[in-house]
Amino acid sequence: MADANSGRRFVSIWGNAVSVGEARPESYGKDITLRYPVYSAFDGDAVRLTFDNYCGTEQVTISQVSIMAKNPSDDTAEKEFFPVTFRGSRSCVIPAGSRVCSDELSLDVKAGSTFDVSMYLGDYTQLRSCVFTCGALSDGAQFASGNLTGSETFPKELSRPTHYFYFLSNVSLRTDKKNRAVVCYGDSITAQNWPDDLAVMLKSRQIGDTSVIRRATSGSRILREYTCLTYQSYGLKGSRRFAHEVPTDGADTVIIQQGINDIIHPVGTDINPFRPMSDLPTAGELTEGLAYYVKLARSYGYKVYAGTLLPIGGWRTYAPFRETLRNDVNEWIRSTDMIDGVVDFDNALADPEDKTRMLPEYDSGDHLHPSKSGYRKMAQLVADNAAIFEKRVGYSH
């Protein structure tokens, strides 16, 4: 008898990194519901969720999870609720440093649709494993008081929007094996809009076989991480992140854009006791870190693309020696034969009159992060790179 699922596999349609939540006295939550929108680039018939407590220092219990979705064959129908289970149970316990995967849930999903994942934290829960994310497909997340996993809307007086994604790190869909995922790995620049903008562009260009998975943590560096309470939320260094985040259901390509925080953070202990100048890497050390990423990605069978580091002229710690270091790293990215291709974000967003700065229309105003139009330019640059979206003949991850 033929297997009804032959020719199909699970491919990630949504994903985030898991980083360290900012240390606050109120870093525990109780009796709250978190709801996150999940966009699907393609059709599928079963969903699997991953919840990750990688950065937690104690176990957490997720009391209940549900998916809220519309019947794909009836646009006028009300949304339905589908209970998510873990080995048959409605709740799950995630030890510190671990993650759990849900049971497969039969669910018809249509390309271009969005469904909501809601989780209820009934008892006191350490809210430490999380990440900040924003963008066209990520806005709409919210939290509320009480167990509202079965409520279509959250009462305004009991809820607030949020850009912090706790525990939920991956959503995979059983779909046609021709579909695949591209992973975007980086820091706050990738944690913000451009991966969502890329997904929207792919939809508009009718590239329907590729999902965009974001693995990005704000403030993170390739070579260093902070152990102090003040800056621990800047996340883990690359040797503790890449192997945990990048292996992804159905992925065959990673786009790496990281390194600028290694360059701009060190200022000297006379200015900031937690940011010694000894943390400043050489260009060789930074490119060795990037080469480490590439070797790991190759071990997963991935194609590898690297994005050049954006201009930082005008940023508060800008200095000529940092500019030289940035240019040296970018030169390595442009010239190395270790990778499959370059996405030259630097050249595309730089002001032609002053290459140390972003073009004003692409600058958010802090001279480090792009504006919304700058992020759209980054997404366009990736979308226009046809090689990234070529079929991988015979590939199956």
Q: Give pLDDT, residue 2.
A: 37
The three-class DSSP label of residue 255 is strand
Query: Residue 24: CB partners within 8 Å, gap ≥ 6?
Result: none
Q: How far lies 290's CA from each of 164, 199, 255, in Å?
A: 27, 25, 12
| Phi, psi for residue 136 in degrees, rounded to 5 | -60, -35
Decide the pairing of beta strands 105-109 and 44-52: antiparallel
Phi-psi label, residue 231: left if phi above 0, alpha if psi -120 to 50, beta otherwise: alpha
249/84 Cα distance (integer angstroms): 19
Q: 51 has which bridge partners?
A: 100, 168
Specify the CATH superfamily of domain 179-389: SGNH hydrolase (3.40.50.1110)
Task: State how far the Cα of 281 lies from the Cα of 347, in Å rounded to an integer.
Answer: 23
Exposed, middle or buried by CB within 10 Å (0-12, 13-18, 19+), for 276? middle
Consecutive 10-residue averages of pLDDT for the chain (397 residues): 69 97 88 98 97 97 96 72 97 98 97 97 96 95 97 95 97 97 98 98 95 98 96 96 98 98 98 97 98 98 98 98 98 98 98 98 98 98 92 45
Name the residue with tokens 């366009």.
380
- Supply the pLDDT for residue 76: 66
φ and ψ at residue 262, rounded to 5 degrees: -60, -30
What does the domain layout of the chain look like in residue ranges?
Answer: 8-171, 179-389
DSSP one-letter code for 309:
P
- Answer whether 279's CB lies under 8 Å from 299's CB: no
CA 149 – CA 24 distance, rounded (Å): 26
Q: 144 has which bridge partners? A: 33, 159
- Let me know: does 109 contact 39? Beta carbons within 8 Å: no
Q: Would you state the structure tokens that stand for residue 337, as one six-digit string?
A: 């034969």
The reported pLDDT for the residue numbered 1 is 34
Query: And the tokens for 19?
Result: 């980083």
pTM metric for this prediction: 0.95
Q: Please give the pLDDT value at position 393.
A: 39
Q: What is the pLDDT of residue 171?
A: 98
Task: Please tell me the total number of residues recorded for the chain in this structure.
Answer: 397
Q: Which residue has the tokens 């802090």?
A: 366
Query: How many Cβ atoms sit within 10 Å of the Cβ of residue 347?
Result: 15
Taking Cα atoms as reference points, which of 57, 68, 121, 129 lies closest to residue 95? 57
> For residue 80, what are its two tokens?
């339905």
